[in-house]
Amino acid sequence: MAVIKPMIRSNICINAHPIGCAKETVNQINYVKSQKAKRGTKTLAEGGKGPKTVLVVGCSTGYGLASRISAAFEYGADTIGVSFEKEATQTKGGTPGWYNNLTFDREAKAAGLKTATFNADAFADETRATIINQIKEWNTKVDLIIYSLASPVRIDPDTKVLYKSVIKPIGQVYSGASLDMMTGKITQASTQPAEGDEIPNTVKVMGGEDWERWIKQLKEAGVLADGCRTIAYSYIGPSLSHAIYRDGTIGEAKKDLEKRAHNIDASLKEIGGAAYVSVNKGLITRSSSVIPIITQYLGVLFKVMKAKGTHEGCIEQMERLFAERLYTGADNSPAKVPVDSENRIRMDDWELAADVQAEIDRIMPTVTEENLEQTVDIAGIRHDFLAINGFDVEGVDYSADVADMSKID
């Protein structure tokens, strides 16, 4: 038995609270249920025509988890999820995603929904074969595939070579303010430019090759429904972060993802389907927290957007993606999706609005350790960072002993 406190260093939290993770996942489910009631969305059982069987590749946290929750609890979809998590034991904690998956499965089953979650390497052909068998076992076909993988490494299924991704600028050193969310300290951080094979290796891990492979193998197995759509997630962000993100190694990977979306789209058109990249809003995540300038930018962004009433977290954004972009036809049926000139869905429209960015440009140069409370939503980004790991979640007694680290109740 032990009291679990967050173990944090330099914007990285290395542990998770099982009860807190479960509670936070339930909070997201309850939000979607409230939106369903507000919008009058019909589930399949209520005569709706939304998604029936949804596959989420990278289902355990962030946008992937939020997408799975939206599909299941607003539309009544059966879902299959895959992610690679560290499993908890009675005495050793698991990753936040492991607890999130346990909670999702528990709540979906209680709601009478089919759910299957696989703790496996989503890059492996063996995992794809397992998923295909599960779809066939359910005697169904998939009509929506969410691709939301974020991984530092990938083993190529053909060559068995291990590739590693890096978050680095290209061509020159990148320097920017680094805000430590927990201490409020601001330092100048520099990141050296990518060297050697770091750019192609990052594209190999975080680009669209694996997404394309997923769709190809699912299609060849005959488990895609007519009209099946697939969506992968990306980020562009403001010009001030382009050197480290959009024009850096991760940006090159995202550009590859967007390019391959066109190939996948052409393939799915043969069965009346489509492929999209959704460009989402910047949020506090396990990876964004360690990129120079990003944490400070997000702190200012949150403050500005909350003042305007347009701030969204993962679950708010994914619920809006489903309800206001994907399933806008009669009885929530799939309808024409609004896209930009590159066939991308722009969920970052509120973040990149001219008035929002103008206010951020005004505030960013003025931020100091002394005026953090006035210029940055430090409480908001700190809460989001902790909540990802199951801490600072309302209704959880963090002074209580946790007798079994593998249980979520």
pLDDT digits (tens, 9 = 90+) for 306-339: 999 999 999 999 999 999 999 999 999 999 999 9
What's the pLDDT score for residue 285? Answer: 80
- Rounded Cα distance between 67 and 147, Å, is 10
Q: What is the mean pLDDT of the chain?
A: 96
Q: What is the pLDDT of residue 288?
A: 74
Please list, in sequence order, all residues whose beta carbon lies within 8 angstroms of the beta carbon of residue 142, skipping any fewer than 6 positions away. 53, 54, 55, 80, 135, 218, 223, 224, 225, 228
pLDDT digit string, tens, across residues 227-259:
999 999 999 999 989 999 999 999 999 999 999
- Taking the C-alpha atoms of residue 295 and residue 303, their distance in angstroms, rounded to an integer, is 12
Per-residue pLDDT reduced to its tens digit, 101-132: 999 999 999 999 999 999 999 999 999 999 99
> Binding-site residues for substrate, please?
235
Most distant pair of Cα atoms in the chain: their distance: 61
Question: All domains of the chain, ordered by start, with CATH?
Answer: 8-173+196-286+313-349 (3.40.50.720)
Query: Residue positions in the annotated binding site for NAD(+)?
Result: 58-63, 84-85, 121-122, 149-150, 254, 283-285
Contact 319, 72 (CB under 8 A): no
The CA distance from 77 to 25, in Å, is 17
State yes or no: is 233 an active-site residue: no
Q: Of these residues, 245, 276, 297, 327, which one is catalytic?
A: 245
Q: Which residues are annotated as a binding site?
A: 58-63, 84-85, 121-122, 149-150, 235, 254, 283-285
